[in-house]
A and B are shown apart, each in its own frame.
Chain A
């Protein structure tokens, strides 16, 4: 057997060093595999029920308001309703210990620009989710290389989530107590039509977030969102 040539190995190592810090995005892979193929067929029966329940909620939260606008349903129309300009994309975290669903779509704003709408919904009963929000996004405008971070905070629980352009490889949330938590990264399914990722940072519900920090694959900070004096709203007793 021809062994590895040591000199050559040294040169080749310098060309493309092993990026040990990169872990990939398995959740994004699973989401993309499911977005073009009925992944539900591959799920176990118990999860099928869960997926269907989540899907039902999503239809209510995301699709119905959009239909309300387009069809003129008086009982669901309101000024802020938006109509998707492309596919409504759903990413589901299949992990039993932290089930959640992310829904996103692009929409045309009143001034004609493309905006990104997204919401994150946990399946745990004790954790609140965020309402659908829309806003301009560098990725939605076709600028995937422009560092960009957006942020939304679920008002009843310890979660911050938002979109980030593809050059954002990792996101961490700095908390009020000085600690940081690493966010999970999900690459948006291609069907969305915007090259971007979403991050979901979970933290203790009693804590507040002071900063969201996005880094590229080399660990360099390329986006920061500072949250001034953010305090957790009082819980209903």
Chain B
């Protein structure tokens, strides 16, 4: 319980950021983090001591956020993000294109990207959080980077 509380308090801004990115809304992100830790407290007896507690917590937050996103019926980065990009002036094209590209990424690539950039998790932790092999994380991130770099290059050319 103490370790869970520490994970929550120490990492809350990052947990919220990832959950917000997945759900597309800060309010849904807060709900997702909240629900995830409620579930974690209840299930703490079943926590495997050989696993990393933080990765276990990340897995719960990612799952809760995906649930919230499904409940909202929205794709990540869609609603407020795209609306904001259309009123932002100079960077509209670049931001809008990247947002749209991220929204189109396969879910695994998108989740790996969020955990890497918004939580600064290493490959092993991302793998544990998503329940996939570290090699798969590397491949997913590589593919996501390629897609997004191409998008950025395309926008710069058009400018």
Contacts and interface: CB of A to CB of B under 8 A. Distances in A.
Instruction: Decide whether A and B are members of one complex.
Output: yes
Interface of A: 1-2, 4-5, 7-9, 11-16, 18-20, 22-26, 28-30, 32-33, 36-37, 42, 166, 187, 217
B138 interface: yes
A14 to B, nearest CB: 7
A18 B37 contact: no
Interface residues of B, number: 41
Nearest to B122: A1
Contact of A9 (B9, B117, B149): B117
List of 7 A-B pairs having minimum Cβ-Cβ separation, nearest first: A33-B41, A24-B12, A29-B37, A33-B38, A32-B38, A12-B117, A2-B141
B42 A5 contact: no
A15 B77 contact: yes
A4 B1 contact: no
A28 B141 CA distance: 35
B21 interface: yes
B128 interface: no
Contacts, number: 86
A140 B41 CA distance: 28
Contacts of B9: 23-24, 26
Contacts of A32: 34, 38
Interface stretch (B48-56, B66-74, B94-102): B94-102
B34 A25 contact: yes
Contacts of A15: 21, 77, 81, 95, 99
B8 A26 contact: yes
A14 B95 contact: yes
Contacts of B17: 16, 18-19
A26 B1 CA distance: 11
A120 to B, nearest CB: 21
B2 to A, nearest CB: 11
Contact of A22 (B12, B37, B95): B12
